[in-house]
Amino acid sequence: MKVKKTINWILFLAVVGGGGYYYYHSRLKQQADDKPSYDRAAAERRDLRVIVESTGEIQPRNRLDVKPPIAGRLEELLLDEGDAVDKGQLIGWVSSTERATLLDAALATSKEEFNYWQELYKPTPLISPLKGTIIARNFEPGQSINANDAVVVIADDLIVVASLDETDIGQVKIGQKVNVRLESYPDTEFACVVEKIAYDARTVSNVTMYEVDVDPDKLPAFARSGMTANLEFVIEEKLGVLAVPASAVQEKGGGSKGSAKGASVPDSDRRKMMMDRMREKGMSDAEIQERLAQFAQGGGRPGGDKSAKGGKRSGGEGKAGGGGAFVLVDSGDPVNPAERPVKKGISDGSYTEITEGLEDGEEVLIAKIKIKGKTSSSGSPFMSTRGPGKGGGGR
């Protein structure tokens, strides 16, 4: 009986001791998890570009269907697709219905009769009305044609026609630089400039769109009418500027840069409408949150000073204590870093230019976000994570 009582006491003490040990170590682990942790990033020189992205299509600037002056039969076509043609140049010969009937009857009689009428009754010439390139050949010699048939199609120049919605069109100007890649040849980029911006809008899926004509400096030889193009309108570009990751820059009173926390937002109906429009454009949830946050901070339209990549024009100045931008730097205390006021320049969404407050090579701290036991080094859970490429604003 005494031995049994002793065993029970031993088991009781073991359970209590094990529970206490587990509780103690759980508390230590929780306290360790509750402590903030930071990643380090150095301020370095980078090339930053603020861009607006769009898709478009290669189209002729002027497209003209060359139709015959009379109905009849196409006797001869002298040019093929891809051939250059001058204004007034002979393209082919067309026989009227009467001439074609007469020649067929003469040929059935004799070769001499055919030659006689062929010399006496001349065919009608088909003349090019403008200088350009033949992009389509729709008929072959011997086919019957009427006055409404386009024998060939001529284009004077090929340009890229893009569509931009009203939230981005205000950032595009005549003569602005554009980088273009074709879907069929994604590894080749060629330079263009904005040639014309449409005055009249059109509505696509409840989104107001404007057509923008983009003129290539030199169109690649492989480009063809109808090819799909991806365009990057360069809103602002700076080379070799001092920059830090965008998640390292924070706003006093506005939470982490790019976060919607602590900022006023538009009413729910208007906010929903904006989000629906941006989703129709193919923007990700992270980019949508970034735009809404910038709208709230800037008091303007979302995207009014931002690119489709998340880049923006920013002139954040002032000291951290007065509601300006700041970064976190090492203070010697791993838990409580120091706030360093900075002045911002442009941002491409991944990196932000620092015009004052940091020196080349200085390290900044980026708070890690803990989500269900996992950590992330982004300054905002809504910001997308991008690679550390040197050419900011990359694809």
CATH code of the domain containing 179: 2.40.30.170
pLDDT above 60 (res 102) = yes
The Cα–Cα gap between 288 and 285 comes to 5
The Cα–Cα gap between 238 and 223 comes to 30
Instruction: Give the percent of the chain with pLDDT over 70.
Output: 68
- Note whether 152 and 137 are within 8 A (CB): yes
Nearest to 51 by CA among 147, 180, 221: 180
Other Cβ atoms less than 10 A from the Cβ of 312: the count is 26
Domain termination residue (choose one: 124, 155, 186): 155
Higher pLDDT, 215 or 348: 215
292 and 280 share one domain: yes
Q: In terms of residue numbers, what domain contains 310?
A: 36-49+240-376
246 and 369 share one domain: yes
366 and 316 share one domain: yes
| Tally of domains within the chain | 3
Q: Give the per-residue pLDDT at 314.
A: 38
Q: Is 371 exposed, middle or buried (0-12, 13-18, 19+ CB in 10 A)?
A: exposed
pLDDT above 80 (res 311) = no
149 and 232 share one domain: no
Other Cβ atoms less than 10 A from the Cβ of 14: the count is 10
What average pLDDT does the chain have?
Answer: 78
Half-sphere exposure of 330 (CA within 13 A, CB side): 8
- Which residue is associated with the tokens 């120049």? 157
Core vs surface per residue 216-252: b (16+ CB within 10 A) or e? beebeeebebebebbbbbbbbebeebbbbbbbbbbbb
pLDDT above 80 (res 22) = no
149 and 176 share one domain: no
Instruction: Give the percent of the chain with pLDDT over 90.
Output: 37
Residue 215 lies in a domain: yes
Higher pLDDT, 179 or 392: 179
233 and 282 share one domain: no
- Note whether 168 and 176 are within 8 A (CB): no
pLDDT above 80 (res 238) = yes
Higher pLDDT, 328 or 299: 328
Nearest to 302 by CA among 273, 343, 323: 273
Please, which residues have CB within 8 angstroms of residue 200's CB and are 6 or more apart in sequence?
none
Residue 10 lies in a domain: no
Take residue 106 and report the two structure tokens written for it. 């003469």
Domain termination residue (choose one: 155, 187, 208): 155
Query: Which of the four pLDDT bands, split at 50, 70 and 90, describes residue 281?
Result: low
- Reported pTM: 0.55
- Note whether 206 and 11 are within 8 A (CB): no
Nearest to 347 by CA among 50, 53, 51: 50
203 and 140 share one domain: no
The Cα–Cα gap between 235 and 307 comes to 8
The Cα–Cα gap between 124 and 79 comes to 16
164 and 122 share one domain: no
Nearest to 78 by CA among 23, 123, 47: 123
Residues found in the chain:
395
233 and 113 share one domain: no
Residue 1 lies in a domain: no
pLDDT above 70 (res 54) = yes
Domain termination residue (choose one: 185, 214, 237): 237
228 and 326 share one domain: no
Residue 23 lies in a domain: no
Residue 20 lies in a domain: no
Cα distance from N-terminal residue to C-terminal residue, the chain:
80
Q: Give the per-residue pLDDT at 389.
A: 40
What is the CATH classification number for the domain harbouring 129?
2.40.50.100
Angle at 165 between CA 162 and CA 168, to 5 degrees: 95
270 and 293 share one domain: yes
Higher pLDDT, 301 or 15: 15
Residue 81 lies in a domain: yes
268 and 357 share one domain: yes
Q: Give the per-residue pLDDT at 272.
A: 66
Local structure of residue 36 (DSSP, 8 states): -
pLDDT in tens, 105-156: 999 999 999 999 989 999 999 999 989 889 889 999 999 999 899 999 998 8
Residue 30 lies in a domain: no
Residue 303 lies in a domain: yes
The Cα–Cα gap between 309 and 317 comes to 23
Alpha carbon separation from 4 to 1, 7, 13, 16, 293 (Å, rounded): 5, 5, 14, 18, 69
Higher pLDDT, 373 or 361: 361
pLDDT in tens, 160-209: 999 998 888 988 999 999 999 999 999 999 999 999 999 998 888 888 99
